[in-house]
Amino acid sequence: MKWGTNLWVGGGLVGVSILVGVFADVIQLADPVTSANLMNAEIPPGREFPFGTDAQGRDIYSRIVHGARISLTVGLVSQIANSIIGVTLGLTAGYWGGWWDDFVSGLTNLMLAIPSLIFALAIMAILGPGLVSLLIALGLTNWSYSCRIARAQVLSLKSQGYIQAARILGYGDLRIMFTQLLPNMLGPLIVMATLGMGGAILAEAALSFLGLGIRPPYPSWGSMLSDAREQINTAPWLSVFPGLAIFLTVLGLNLLGDGLRDILDPQSKERTA
């Protein structure tokens, strides 16, 4: 089945990325920061250095595995922040309606009209480069998608019989929203969060590539690509392996999101059948 293939392949790629990030200190061949040795500068991939070395003589493999920890942390933390903001706004806007719904809808449309990367660049320009600034910038830029999905789900669910029964039993608005509505709309939100993590990893790589993300010498896939620009002809492995790591991780998250969507969405099940 198609969804099974997407789920298993995507889950496998994501699982490998998580294991690499968690056990980076165990599987590294050298310290990714302090092992610089100009005598080993730009050595091609081989037995001693499987992914080669960079211009400072640092092992690319070790920097890749530690970069996985940074990229996954940024993707997870920023998507959690986006989900909290978006779901809270969408849930309350769809349930209460009125002026609050108009305000949230207008704010969401405004955020959708501004390219998220441009907004993140503006925040990073104010806060400066660094991991904390990066998490704040990415955590405030993509909540509009979760907000729209949450609002649409609430509008379709709040007229259901069990919501009316909860009101009759004396449930307050917040209790209904977070104990009755939210559990019944988790499927689409989980899928959106999975896909959003891939977008956050790409955004982190783009910002680091521009010099506004993780500060050197700490390893980041985006900053590694940035450093490899001048050696792309003489030492292509410097850009191939970080780019491949980004590609496989984001591909895994997208396939995992597609697989989860096909499982959790009844209409997708019907189309597959």
pLDDT tens for each residue of 183-238: 888 888 888 888 889 989 998 888 888 888 777 778 889 888 888 888 888 889 99
Domain with 63 in it: what CATH number?
1.10.3720.10
Give the rounded percent of residues in the chain with a pLDDT score beyond 70.
Answer: 96
Asked if residues 79 and 201 have their Cβ atoms less than 8 Å apart, the reply is no
Domain residue limits at 82? 2-21+50-272
Residue 240 lies in a domain: yes
49-60: average pLDDT: 90
pTM: 0.86
Question: How far apart, in whole angstroms, are the C-alpha atoms of residue 191 and residue 176?
Answer: 23
Q: Is residue 264 part of a domain?
A: yes
**164 found inside a domain:** yes
Binned at pLDDT 50, 70 and 90, residue 271 comes out as very low
Q: How does pLDDT run across 85-134, given as a tens digit for each residue?
A: 999 999 999 999 899 999 999 999 999 888 888 888 888 888 888 888 88
Amino acid identity of residue 210, one-letter, is: L
- Tell me what pLDDT residue 266 has: 52
Count of the separate structural domains present in the chain: 1
Does some domain include residue 221? yes
- Average pLDDT over all residues of the chain: 87
> Do the domain assignments include residue 203?
yes
Please tell me the distance from the alpha carbon of residue 16 to that of residue 204, in angstroms, as a whole number: 20
Cα separation, 9 vs 178, whole angstroms: 33
Could you tell me the maximum CA-CA distance found in the chain, to the nearest angstrom? 76
d(CA 116, CA 146): 14
**226-259 confidence digits (pLDDT tens):** 888 888 888 899 999 999 999 999 999 999 988 8
In a domain? residue 38:
no
Tell me, yes or no, whether 26 lies in a domain. no
pLDDT of residue 214: 79
| pLDDT higher than threshold 50 for residue 273 | no
217 inside domain: yes
At 222 the pLDDT is 87
